[in-house]
Structure 1
Amino acid sequence: MTTWTVGQVADLFGVTVRTLHHYDQIGLLTPSERSRAGYRLYTDEDLVRLQQVVVYRRLELPLDEIASLLADGADAETHLHRQRETVVTRLGELTELVAAIDRALEREMSDQPATTEELKELFGDGFKDEYQQEAEERWGDTDAWKQSTARTKRYTKADWEQIKAEQEAVTSAFVAAKRAGLPADSAEAMDAAEGARLQIHERFYDCSHDFHRALGDMYVADPRFTKTYEDLDAGLAQYVRDAIHANADRHAS
């Protein structure tokens, strides 16, 4: 069995000794062997794990999420498939952006005005507006944000289309219950609230009923969230908030 010292691994792969020591300290990558003098040595299996860590880091995943991925018992092939899917998704997005820029250049050079749909091409799915930037600055250090970021990095365009359909179905359920004259604590309204919570919980981050209460309060406290619901139906933001609280009470009892 071939083994390498930390210095040899650093020289061979261009990973700093400091980084390797940090991975060791947090339990992400600990050398499996020791020399007679007591120095830690990396094995072939250790280097495979290092490769997995480095690729995930290149995909901008946080270390705690990488640790969770590597702790799930998946083999090297599974990790490579995951990594490839993520890269292919990003590659597809960049290819689409290049094509959209080329088309925009052609329009500019021929003095052709762009249609709304043509302008939308340059926004794509990854654009962050000022509100999204604000949200990242506000919640970027929270566990929920980190968990959501790690999950969504792996989503494909088809995943996002499915998520959008799920969100629209949840909102439609709220609107239908309200327009039917059902109170916010009716089974239909509470079921819509539970569907909303589960959609967040399964797609983005762990969302307890108490956490969902806080989100419901934000829907009426933040005018921008309120407007999103009010544009669909007058009073809907308060209705959704009340349904969320009623649903949380139902599950607490």
Structure 2
Amino acid sequence: MSSPAPSDADGLTVGQVSARLGVTVRALHHWDEIGLARPSLRTVAGYRLYTATDLERLHRIVVYRETGLGLDRIRAVLDDSAVDVPGALRAQRAQVAERIERLQGLGAGLDRMIEAHERGLLLTAGQQATVFGPGWDPDWPTRAREAYGDTTQWQQYAERSASRDVDDWQTVADAVAELDRALADAMDAGVEPGAPEADRLVERHREVFSSFFPLTRPMQVCLARRYEADPGFAAHYDGIRNGLAAWFRRIVDAAARAHGIDPDTATWE
């Protein structure tokens, strides 16, 4: 016949203490092994039993552990009369406050990341017009999200967008505008596809475009093809210089061939 379970007056088993305090049996065994909280009683069979005094110490250990104190510091707080307990707790409180501040910053960053994935561009319509010019369509990010939201490139774009403010986007817009002017000037000067200056402009385009997402050479070929074929893109480039979209595609194709890429079979990868 088994013996009846011990009462609180007799002492509590490890399992009972674990359930009562919400700590694991493994943790209780560890605290026993290191001498932090040892049960005062044993059954005839050698099982640990915790008294009310033991339980009070365990409760304090749990409270201090939840504040973030390490076990060695908890031991000192409990056993060393020379320890300034309020001072130790104030120091821990300061560390907790720092962690809270860091977590709040992380939370704000996550909010911006979520919003960037959903909206693409974290600027108001007015800010977009100021940065990108009056001809900018503020609905473009929404349409782009609908078209490309499930792509790796949209995710990369969103991650960059989440960390940018108005000034950052102005820097990007200025770099794009300077590149457009350089392309137009080179075409006006009669720069031929495959010429060193044309190849430098192709590389510059890839560098500038990395502000949005990494652009491989095959992807650049596909993008240049779209610049020429898409009415919206073609209107933009041909509005800068008539024929600029077609010329840009030719210099990109020539640079691709120089790197062993067949423009006719290039894919978005």
TM-score by length of 2: 0.51
Q: Check 1:148–1:241 CA distance in 2 against 1; reply closer, same or farther (3 A cut).
A: same
Per-residue CA deviations over 1:8-39 (Å, capped at 9, x if unaligned) read xxxxxxxxxxxxxxxxxxxxxxxxxx94469x
For these two proteins, the number of residue pairs brought into alignment is: 166
Aligned residues of 1:194 and 1:244 also touching (Cα < 8 A): no
Paired residue for 1:237?
Answer: 245
Alignment equivalent of 2:111, drawn from 55, 58, 72: 58
Structure 1 residue 53 displacement after superposition: 4.9
- Secondary structure, counterpart of 1:155 in structure 2: coil
Q: Would the aligned equivalents of 2:194 and 2:254 in 1 still touch at CA under 8 Å?
A: yes
Deviation digits for residues 53-84 of structure 1, max 9, x if unmatched? 5333222348x9xxxxxxxxxxxxxxxxxxxx
Q: Distance in 2 between matches of 1:154 and 1:188?
A: 33
2:224 touches 2:252 (CA, 8 Å); kept in 1? Answer: yes
Give matches, 1:121-136, under 5 Å.
129-136=138-145
1:142 paired residue among 151, 176, 179: 151
User: Structure 1-normalised TM-score?
Assistant: 0.54
The residue aligned with 2:55 is: none
Structure 2: runs of 5 or more not aligned? 1-22, 28-65, 69-94, 262-269
Report the Cα distance in structure 2 between the residues aligned to 1:37 and 1:218, rounded to whole angstroms: 63
Residue of structure 2 aligned with 1:184, choices 190, 193, 207: 193
What pairs with 1:169-208 in structure 2 (closer than 5 Å)?
169-201=178-210, 203-208=211-216
Q: Does 1:250 align with 2:258?
A: yes
Name the CA distance, whole Å, in 1 between partners of 2:144 and 2:218: 20
> Unmatched 5+ residue regions in structure 1?
1-33, 65-89, 98-119
Shift, 1:245, TM fit: 1.9
Question: 1:52 Cα shift?
Answer: 5.8
For the residues of structure 2 that align with 1:141 and 1:43, how far apart are their CA atoms?
Answer: 42
| One-letter identity of the residue aligned with 2:111 | R
CA drift of 1:205 comes to: 0.9
Larger radius of gyration: 2
Q: 1:152 deviation in Å? A: 1.7
User: Distance in 2 between the 1:159 and 1:233 partners?
Assistant: 27
Shift of 1:178: 1.0
Please, which of 227, 231, 237 is the counterpart of residue 219 of structure 1? 227
Over 3 Å counting, the alpha-carbon distance change for 1:130 and 1:54 in structure 2 is closer
Pair 1:210-2:218 in alignment: yes
After TM superposition, give the deviation of residue 50 of structure 1 in Å.
6.1
For residues 254 and 163 of structure 2, the distance between their equivalents in structure 1, rounded to whole angstroms, comes to 34
For 2:152, the aligned partner's letter is D
Amino acid paired to 1:182: V
Aligned to 2:30: none
AA of the residue aligned to 2:226 = M
Please state how far the C-alpha of 1:153 moved relative to its aligned partner: 2.1
RMSD over aligned Cα, in angstroms? 3.7
Q: Which residue of 2 aligns with 1:166?
A: 175
SS of the counterpart of 1:132?
Answer: helix
Are 1:213 and 1:248, in contact at CA under 8 Å, matched by a contact in 2? yes
Q: Is the 8 A contact 1:61 1:150 kept in 2?
A: no
Q: 1:125 to 1:136 in 2, by over 3 A?
A: farther
1:131 CA drift (Å): 3.3
3-state DSSP class of the match of 1:133? helix
